[in-house]
Amino acid sequence: MGRILAALALATICIAAPAGAQSPAANPGLAKATFAGGCFWCMEPPYDKLDGVVSTTSGFIGGHKPNPTYREVTTGTTGHTEAVEVVYDPRKVSYEKLLEVYWVNVDPTDAFGQFCDRGPQYRPGIFVHDAAQRRAAEASKAALAKKKPFAAPVVVEIADATTFYRAEEGHQDYYVKNPIRYKFYRTGCGRDARLEQLWGKAPG
């Protein structure tokens, strides 16, 4: 996951099973949302905390190569970006709330990567699954651009969701399985320092 953790994570990640195809469809009554915010390890925790979120899955979206592996995506040549697919219950949590959580967990001023991870495979994006999600995402982005607490423009892409490929099992719930390595990566990448600079200190 970028230069910071490459040496530590290589043994764990590279022996994981190959990436799978698109995750199973949500059960009736549930919905999907897909967000890219750099390292997908770091995008799972804020959604896992939300009441109404059923699952989060790390994977890849927006590329042209079928069934890409993590190693292939990290070259920046497949067109994919790391993303997290969120399955949620709209009766308990709204898509608008998911968008609120998204913004404060990314650097929306950086279109060429996130934090220490650079390249198109780390570009931020909101991948919408229907017209209602697109309207909500565009409205949310416009509201942020109007009221943002920073000077730089908001450059996050809003695009139609294409096939989402589940990443290798070693990447799923990485922050739970490997808490020390995850903390080392997150701190070394400067993620929290930059988020605090952009959004202020997180509560709690």
CA distance 171 to 73: 13
CA distance 78 to 62: 9
Long-range Cβ contact pairs of 191-197 (< 8 A, separation 24 or more): 191/38, 191/39, 191/42, 191/114, 191/115, 191/116, 194/107, 194/115, 195/104, 195/105, 195/107
CA distance 29 to 142: 29
Q: Which of 14, 39, 42, 189 is catalytic?
A: 39
CA distance 46 to 186: 14
Is 39 marked active-site? Answer: yes
Look up residue 137 and give its amino acid.
A
Q: Is residue 67 left, alpha or beta, with left meaning phi > 0 and alpha meaning psi from -120 to 50?
A: left
Q: Is residue 16 left, alpha or beta, with left meaning phi > 0 and alpha meaning psi from -120 to 50?
A: beta
What is the set of active-site residues?
A: 39
